[in-house]
Amino acid sequence: MTTAAPSLPTQQKAWAQAIAQPAQEFPLTPLTVISGAIPADLRGSLYRNGPGRLERQGQRVSHWFDGDGAVLAVHFADGQAQGIYRYVRSAGFTEEEQAEQFLYSGYGSLAPGPIWQRWKAQLKNAGNTSVLALPDKLLALWEGGWPHQLDLHTLETKGVHPLGQLTDNEPYSAHPKRHPQTGHIFNFGIVAGANATLNLYRSDAQGHIEKKESVPLNGIPLIHDFVLADRYLVFCVPPVRLNPLPAVLGFQSFSDALMWQPKHGTQLVVVDAETLEVVSSEAVDPWYQWHFGKGFVNKDGDIVLEVVRYPDFATNQQLKEIAAGQIKTKADGEFWRICVEPQTARVRSQTCLIANHCEFPHIAEDQPTVTAPTYLSMQPSEPDTEGELFRAIARFDPDTEKLTIAEAGSDRYPSEPIYVPKAGNDTPSGWVLSVVYDGGAHQSELWIYDIDRLTDAPVCRLLLPQVVPHSFHGTWRPA
């Protein structure tokens, strides 16, 4: 049962309705088909994570990244789909539920109360950024802390999990990468402090950390994602540095204490995936990125990586404004391919592949990385994109450099597209799944596209029982 849309101030766009009220959980529910039919051979589970609650007792968080994590699961079997949506019951969330008010600071929000109490306030692990599906558990990820363990079917939260080796101050970031050949899972975490380090983790396929290394950092940068390219990990450390004192003393949130310092350039750091030791490092002209697409080593032995680049850190301000329901700051990401010489970390070449504002690159992992298409969220080239969220998804084919854009329509906001391979096909084939918020109807739907007919209508549209606010990242777990 969907609820009535809240009335919006006239300057707000339709997307703001989806986050105007805290999201409502729903139990495991058979999903109604709005159009088309669920493909009979679509078997497995889609998981998505994002900030579900941005408000308590009329107080709103100050940054979109600080909403309490809520996970959507849609389980597909035998041509049927069941959906469930539950908050990540972190210790902080549970405490704030009982207190009926915010108690903790976050990435961009300060705990209520006088400053002299804030300095010792812990950050709340919002568990809101992404998910990692392991054989026996789902991890809800947040880059400043340990992952939360959830039941794969019911999404019941079972506490934080150290993955065998994390110590108290070692976070596990929200963008782990699975090696397509070995099954190893790579990830990192920034350990802040006077001698900040970039911690590197390699886990087995069950998620158990087998190897850890620490790389010293220059100041405390913001690193959100990295690239796995065959036998290398590549970090592009952007010139964003934390001004630590105001953040530690509680005068400023971490987000507000992050400074754009282009003089540092963007530092490329190439790491050996076997030893987790740094191979090379080099500063290049500054850019900022949240996310990478694919990475691979080409026939010349060079690393090729895809990245959504921003000219500066204004994107952080834009993401802050989303929490307030109105975007005033323009910050467009472009999709680039960069070729890096591994032994020196020098850039051999760089090309802008997509100049349209885009984000959330997602790779077809069942195909050779070199030729696999990349799927993205995209802002179509049209007037009146100001203040809007993404209203299209797209497929980029590297061989032909063809860009196929599927527009969702007016006031419809598709989430990061997730590719799902069709099992048993000789030629790559499959679907793309995206949760779409329809601002006109104030409802959320799950759209299933055929990857070869992306500009056609989705092969199926499913109605979700409640509005699911815009989410960050998701994954597909085959049955």
| Binding region | 175, 224, 291, 473
Distance CA 267, CA 270 (A): 10
Who's near 12: CB < 8 A, 6+ residues apart? 325, 326
Q: Which of 60, 83, 43 is nearest to 467 (CA)?
A: 83
CA–CA separation, 157 vs 139, rounded Å? 9
Task: List Cβ neighbours of 105 (8 Å cut-off, separation of 6 or more).
Answer: 111, 118, 121, 122, 123, 124, 250, 253
Question: Would you say 198 and 236 are in contact if contact means Cβ atoms under 8 Å apart?
Answer: no
The annotation places the binding site for Fe cation at: 175, 224, 291, 473
Among 362, 341, 359, 363, smallest CA distance to 350 is for: 341
Cα gap 476→27, rounded to integer Å: 20
How far apart are alpha carbons 18 and 99 in whole angstroms? Answer: 25
CB 377 within 8 A of CB 362: no
- In terms of C-beta density within 10 A (0-12 exposed, 13-18 middle, 19 or more buried), how is residue 406 classed? buried
Amino acid symbol at 163: L
Contact 271, 232 (CB under 8 A): yes
For residue 85, count CB atoms less than 10 angstroms from its CB and return exposed for 0-12, middle for 13-18, buried for 19 or more.
buried
